[in-house]
Chains A and B, each alone.
Chain A
Amino acid sequence: MNYSREFFKGIWKENPVLVLMLGMCPSLATTGNGSNALGMGLATTFVLACSNLVISSIRKIVPGKIRIPCYIVVIAAFVTVVDLLMQAYTGSLYKALGIFIPLIVVNCIVLGRAEAFASKHGLVESFLDGAGMGCGFTLALVLIGLIREFLSAGTLFNIHIAENYPVTFAVMGQAPGGFIVMGFILAGMNFLNMRKAKKEGGNFVNPVDMDCRHCMICRLPEDEK
């Protein structure tokens, strides 16, 4: 098993936000500026890596029918850890992120990786997958956050880049700006991937294992009908 592949696929090829389109809610709501985005990304990365590790280690003893509640209990435990740690040591960030820290429990990425990857793979791969997905999530969030922060306030991580820079377009820091910046980044990603696929002589297709055609969540097992 190629371990580095498991880690690096989360950063570009199967980036949770920009390719798999998971976790849209926190990635639009907490990216008003770069530091919030970074805090949210790191918190989620911690939860992802740890929960993937634990879920992978208990995957053989959890009964299939109640696996989702079991995963949520594990995830919620790690979210509580992050929540208390952030409340203790990074007070202002905790206040800025607000409800979105507890909401990591129901983050699609965390649950999605637990269901799609950690419950089927070994310890090391699951940990690397979680860490890689977390890094991809963090990078995507920081990218969106920095673009929005620069357009809305002219700063990067609260540092002024240029003297007397006049352009402060506040709407980019608000909800519409999140959608607009996100859309442009997605368009750019698709453009790059398509160009790459064209160069290699193939067609651009979405990653197979996470789009709607292959997801099993809404499909009931045949024997239960």
Chain B
Amino acid sequence: MNGKKVDLMSDNMDKKELTEKSETQRIILPDPTRLILSPSPHIQTGPGTGKIMLLVIACLAPAIVASLMFFGLHALRVLVITTASCAAFEYLWNRISGRKSTLNDFSAILTGILLAMNTSSLTPAWVCVAGAFIAIIIAKQIYGGLGQNPFNPAAVARIAMLTGAAGAMTRFPAPNSIFFAPIPDALTTATPLGAAESFSAMGKGVEYFNSSAFLWRAFIGETSGSLGETSALAILIGGIGLIALRIIRWHIPVSIICTVAVFVSLVNHFSPGTTPGVLFHLFSGGLLLGAFFMATDMVTSPVTVKGGIVFGIGIGILVCVIRIYGSYPEGMSFAIVLMNALVPLIDKVCYIRPFGHQNIKSGRIEPRRGEIK
């Protein structure tokens, strides 16, 4: 490979020119074995992966405490099962594939906690373990481990659990009902979003969901739902902490929230009574959890600020469409995974222009790498 000669030629030249040019326009590339090629963030600084993950876990602490307060020991059970099995699958995979253990970057622990935050406290243990398997093995390690996964592992696992064990995943306990009681005694109720999906059937009008008493309960977290999604207050504390610690940029969560607000108010303006108001949509379901903790995952979100805003707007529109018009009451995880799939495209469109860069106006189209002429 040393000193390999590469021809730089235009494809439009005729054959004679081509042979002449190929004699003169030859450059010698440096020895490729001595060049270090790596994908983009080139400058490394600041805290390592493990420290960032620990800080994210610390920011999740208010939500964890809130879930333990409202759902008691069952929340703890789900939390322990998902976290332990995520860590166990991570360890086993590294062991089997003969790699260095990646347990000490805490990403598996964080995935386990996020997965528990996305799960009802009545979920059977096997569903939690299956979700952990899907999150760690299928959604992360198969793609090459942390940093290579195109989709958010916790969101993928939640979707798989929701479609795979729909009955077990949609039994939500009423808050404060089952501190120590065994599962069959738990009082299950519809989540606010589930109730709002069919509010006409429940005999309650939109006004019920827009009343300040109901909104206050949703804000504090005294509603039924998954572990981490009920308390908007706890998530907001953690999310603002994340932004203050500069772990995430504010653009993605804010653009998601603003898009949802605009979309819901437009729907309410043009056809009143279709769906409850903006505050209801912000405080109920996994919107805030997804916006602050899952959509902002460094691996699966766009690199640039502009890309982050596009990404957030896309998530906001998708989640509103699924919530208001779709058959599922909640669509945050679907929206996140769908937009994760678009991140490479978003990154390509919203790249940062290098300093002094000018557009080529001649209209000459050069073949890109891998393109067949």
User: Which of A33-41, A119-127, A171-179, A196-204 is the interface stretch?
Assistant: A171-179
Q: Is B130 within 8 A of A170, CB to CB?
A: no
* Nearest-CB residue, chain A, relative to B166: A170
Q: How far is the CA of A192 from the CA of B164 in the complex (A)?
A: 30
Residues of chain A within 8 A of B127, CB atoms compared: 169
How many A-B pairs have beta carbons closer than 8 Å: the answer is 21
Q: Is A167 an interface residue (CB 8 A)?
A: yes
Q: Is A170 within 8 A of B126, CB to CB?
A: no
Q: Is A166 within 8 A of B126, CB to CB?
A: yes
Q: Is B18 an interface residue (CB 8 A)?
A: no
Q: Is B124 an interface residue (CB 8 A)?
A: yes
Q: Is A180 an interface residue (CB 8 A)?
A: yes
Q: Is A176 within 8 A of B165, CB to CB?
A: no
Q: How far is the CA of A88 from the CA of B130 in the complex (A)?
A: 41
Interface of chain B residues 108 through 145 with chain A (CB within 8 A): 124, 126-127, 130, 138, 142
* Nearest-CB residue, chain A, relative to B159: A171
> When the two chains form the complex, which single residue of B126, B130, B142, B160 contacts A176, counting CB atoms closer than 8 Å?
B160
Q: Is B38 an interface residue (CB 8 A)?
A: no
Instruction: Return A38 CB to nearest CB of chain B, in Å.
Output: 24
Q: Is B124 within 8 A of A171, CB to CB?
A: no
Task: State the majority secondary structure of interface residues on A.
Answer: helix
Contact with A along B151-166 (1 / 0, CB 8 A): 0000000001001111
Instruction: Return A163 CB to nearest CB of chain B, in Å.
Output: 16
Instruction: Return B143 CB to nearest CB of chain A, in Å.
Output: 12
Q: How far is the CA of A168 from the CA of B168 in the complex (A)?
A: 10
Q: Is A170 within 8 A of B124, CB to CB?
A: no
Q: Is B124 within 8 A of A166, CB to CB?
A: yes
> When the two chains form the complex, which single residue of A169, A174, A180 contacts B138, counting CB atoms closer than 8 Å?
A180
Q: Is A168 within 8 A of B165, CB to CB?
A: yes
Q: Is B164 within 8 A of A170, CB to CB?
A: yes
Interface of chain A residues 177 through 220 with chain B (CB within 8 A): 180, 183
Besides A167-B126, A169-B127, A170-B164, 16 more A-B contacts (Cβ < 8 Å) are A166-B124, A166-B126, A167-B130, A168-B165, A169-B130, A169-B164, A169-B165, A170-B163, A170-B165, A170-B166, A171-B160, A171-B163, A171-B164, A172-B164, A174-B163, A176-B160
Complex A-B: 15 CB contacts under 8 Å: A166-B124, A166-B126, A167-B130, A168-B165, A169-B127, A169-B130, A170-B164, A170-B166, A171-B160, A171-B163, A171-B164, A172-B164, A176-B160, A180-B138, A183-B142
